[in-house]
Structures are given as structure tokens and as C-alpha cells.
A and B are shown apart, each in its own frame.
Chain A
Amino acid sequence: MIDDMPVLDVAGISKRFGDLEVLTDISFTVTRGETVCVLGPSGSGKSTLLRCINWLERPDAGQIYLNGDRIGINNGGVVMSDRELSRVRTRIGMVFQHFALWPHLTVLQNLMEAPVQVQKRPAAEVREEAMALLAKVGLSDKSDVFPARLSGGQKQRVGIARALAMKPDVLLFDEPTSALDPELVGEVLLVMRELAREGRTMVIVTHEMGFARDAATRILFLDRGRVVETGPPERFFVNPDTERARQFIQRYAAG
């Protein structure tokens, strides 16, 4: 059944940096419409895991499938070229901790750049969609402004809209609110909650426990590069299986 196929299938990913084993045999799947929140202490490998999924970092072992297509290794069994990887990456959106907007382009141009340059779609059509996305994240009036003039929360909402403009199959978020002043976190989480409600497929690394608790369909808890526990947030936060998860929740839920 095609509907049973996971959007994202991560199977046995390992990654080391020199002597440091950062990820060990990570496996999980994400089905359509799921919001998976990845939690774990600092240094547990959360960012590295996300970066391995779209091959910004090359995993040492394991396979990753996007809607059944292998990422990073082509049909011939060899590592994908830059062109091949680029084609696959158009289907995986990424939102960065420090926004990573392109400062020499306006907000609208940031959104239109890849759909026009990469997907070669007609500019007029892309513009219309980009304006609709900006309306969705509440930034219609900022379309012609350069990123430098935006607040952190506004920048991140542009970052999300830029990822959405490619109509990706899955969205990856790496601590999208960690670089924000506390009073700006809410506006970004609001947008993300809305995406979750719409049934976008998302993998979100976050330290926002409140968000994870009520927006996630599933929690993936990482510690020292391993998946220590996975399950629905109701269970994870109330009655976790492992002692390590319990300690983690106590520490973060308190602060």
C-alpha cells in the first residue's frame, strides 16, 4: 500500500567525527502528517541527525529514504554527485537556528530564489505563491524589505516561508526558536503549530517542551547519539520508560 509508506525512513544511521561517535545506529520513520519532535541534551547529536537526513553531513552507515527513494546514494550504488543531491534536497525543507536568510535579497526574493532558479517555475506564479506564504506567516507588508530590517521572530518566519516555497515532502527544523529573544518565540511557535495542524510532515529539534508536548505526534528522545526512547508526548512527558528521559524532563520542564 502506497499510503503505508513512510515519508521519511531513517535506517541505522551512524556518524562519527574523528574519534567521537556522534550518532549510533539511529532508526525511525515519519509518516505523512506527523510532527516528530526530537529532544535531547546538548551535544546528543540532534543537529547532526537532521544534517545527515539531507546529507549536509554525510552519514558513515545506514540508509535514508524519502518516499521510498534513497537519499545520498544513487541507483548505481555510488555517492550522489552535487547535482543529484541538489535534486533530492529540493524535496526536504530546512529551517535553521540562525535563520540563514540571504541578506542581499529582499524577503520576497529570498522566497522566490529557489523555486525560480532551481525548479525553473514561472516567476509570476512563484511570486503569487510567495505572497500567499508571507500572508500566512503574517509578513505581507515586509515583502520588499531586506532581512537586516526584520526582528528575529520575523526572520525565522521568513525562513519557514522560504522552506515552504519549495513545497517539500518533509520539513526539518533545527532549534528554530533558540536564537530568539523570549518574547519573540511565541510568534514562531504559532506558525509551527499551524503547520502541524495542517498536517505538514515535520521533524523538529527543539528545547520548547510546551510546544513538543502539545504539537508533537511523537517524541524522539536522543542521548549520546542513540534513540533512548520514542513515543507519543502524553506518555513521554507523563510516564517515560527510561530513567534518562525522566531526568531530562525534570531538568527542562522546571526551567
Chain B
Amino acid sequence: MSAADVLAILQGAVVTVTLSFVGILVGLPIGLGLALLRWADVPVASRIVAVYVSVLRATPLVTLLLLLFFALPNVGIAIGPVSAAILALVMNTSAFNCEVWRAALMNFPKEQYEAAQSVGMHALLRFRRIVLPQIVRVSLPGLVNEMSLLIKVTPVLAVVGVVDITRAAVRIGAETYEPLPPFLVAIAMYAPIVFALVSLQRFIERRQLAAEAA
């Protein structure tokens, strides 16, 4: 295994991180938006979201990705591998995040919400100032867990030709006839990514605890 090979896997890591990051960044607020539609019980939208979420949670990411990649061009929507990958990740993660957000919303203490109403906070203010800061904290572990899972399923993006960490390792293994080193390098690259996420979560939680102990 040459330095160039390690570099190739590193490039795969950049792809993995970038795609996961975009998927999370877009999927997180969409998940929250979907959860809010259900929480507020918006007439038709709430039903649609419920169906969307259960269908997506039941659909394997690979299947969804293949569907998007091969079926969308059929209905006249041109889509490249990277766009298909991002779209699939966003759809998948938004459905899972929706459930995490929704659980936090459902468990939000009613009296606290009514206290906000009683002092004259309107709906947006109640949400932004009272509900959101608290559900973020409650949801954080679940959301980070979802993000770690998301990063670990990115190898399936290879089916449409995206070269991520794992795909890069497979290629090098095939070229050098020595699969072990590239795979060890690959595993060594996933670890710090997930570790960074978990550290971020710990950091936020600790800062919060420190503030409350004051």
C-alpha cells in the first residue's frame, strides 16, 4: 500500500464526511419541521408526514438510493450519483430525526407551555424561547446516535458510484491484492469521525450542566 493509496482513502473520507454532513445539516431541520407538523396536528399535512415517515423508516437506504438514481431520470429528472446520494441521505435521516424530535415534543410539559401562553408569548416566541432550547437538549443524544448511524451506512452510496472511504479501500485492496491494510486504514478513519460527534455531544451536555450548577 503506497502513500497515494492512503491519500485515496483519505479522499474517500472527505466524501463520506461531506455527504454525511450535508445530509445531517439538511435532514435535521427538515426532521424538526416534519415533527412540528405532526405535533401541531396540522390537518392534512400531519397524515402525510406520518405516512412519509413510516414508509421511509421501513425502506433500506440502498433501495431508496437505487430508486432515486434509476427512477428519477425515467420521469425526466436528471440526477447524478452525488445528488442522488445526498437526497437519499436527507430523506432517510429526516424521517428518523422526525421521530426523535417528535418524542421530545410529545413529552414537553404542558404546564410550562401554558405558562408561556399565560404571559402572552405568541406561538413562535413560545417555540423559539421555551420549547426549542429544551427539546434540543432532550433530543441531542438521540440525534447524535442517528448521525453516527448515518455515517456508518454511507458505504452503500457506492452502489451508484460514489467513492467513499469503504469504496476507496475496496478498490485499493483489489489493485494491490492486499485487502487487509486498506481496510484497517478505512476503519481507523471512521472511528475519529464518530468520536468527534460524540465528543461534541459530551461538550454541549457538560456546558449545560455547568451552567445549571451555577
A residues adjacent to B (C-beta < 8 A): 54, 56, 82-83, 86-90, 92-94, 96-104, 113-114, 117-119, 144-146, 148, 162-163, 166
With a CB–CB cut-off of 8 A, which chain B residues contact A113?
Answer: 119, 121, 129
Most buried by B among A93, A96, A117, A118: A117
With a CB–CB cut-off of 8 A, which chain A residues contact B133?
Answer: 104
Tell me which of B121, B129, B137 contacts A86 (CB under 8 A): B121
B2 within 8 A of A: no
The answer to whether A148 and B121 touch (CB under 8 A), given A96-B111, A100-B112, A102-B112, is no
Tell me which of B109, B120, B122, B123 contacts A100 (CB under 8 A): B109
With a CB–CB cut-off of 8 A, which chain B residues contact A98?
Answer: 111
Query: Roughly how many angstroms separate A93 CA and B120 CA in the complex, as a whole number?
Result: 9
Binary per-residue interface labels of chain B (10-48) against chain A in the complex, 1 for a CB within 8 Å, 0 otherwise: 000000000000000000000000000000000000000
Query: Roughly how many angstroms separate A118 CA and B121 CA in the complex, as a whole number?
Result: 6
With a CB–CB cut-off of 8 A, which chain A residues contact B211?
Answer: 146
**Shortest Cβ distance from residue A57 to the other chain B in the assembled complex, whole angstroms:** 10
Asked whether B117 lies within 8 Å of A102 as measured between CB atoms, the reply is no
Asked whether A89 lies within 8 Å of B119 as measured between CB atoms, the reply is yes
Asked whether B120 lies within 8 Å of A118 as measured between CB atoms, the reply is yes
Q: Is the interface of B mostly helix, strand, loop or mixed?
A: helix
Binary per-residue interface labels of chain B (107-120) against chain A in the complex, 1 for a CB within 8 Å, 0 otherwise: 00101101111111
The answer to whether A103 and B111 touch (CB under 8 A), given A86-B122, A118-B119, is no
With a CB–CB cut-off of 8 A, which chain A residues contact B212?
Answer: 146, 148
Asked whether A56 lies within 8 Å of B117 as measured between CB atoms, the reply is yes
The answer to whether A56 and B114 touch (CB under 8 A), given A82-B122, A89-B120, is yes
With a CB–CB cut-off of 8 A, which chain B residues contact A90?
Answer: 119-120
With a CB–CB cut-off of 8 A, which chain A residues contact B118?
Answer: 54, 56, 89, 92-94, 163
Query: Roughly how many angstroms separate A94 CA and B114 CA in the complex, as a whole number?
Result: 9
**Shortest Cβ distance from residue B209 to the other chain A in the assembled complex, whole angstroms:** 11
With a CB–CB cut-off of 8 A, which chain A residues contact B116?
Answer: 102
Asked whether B125 lies within 8 Å of A118 as measured between CB atoms, the reply is yes
B59 within 8 A of A: no
Nearest residue in A to B115 (C-beta to C-beta)?
A100
Asked whether B214 lies within 8 Å of A146 as measured between CB atoms, the reply is yes
Query: Roughly how many angstroms separate A144 CA and B119 CA in the complex, as a whole number?
Result: 21
B134 within 8 A of A: yes
Query: Roughly how many angstroms separate A162 CA and B125 CA in the complex, as a whole number?
Result: 17
Query: Roughly how many angstroms separate A86 CA and B112 CA in the complex, as a whole number?
Result: 15
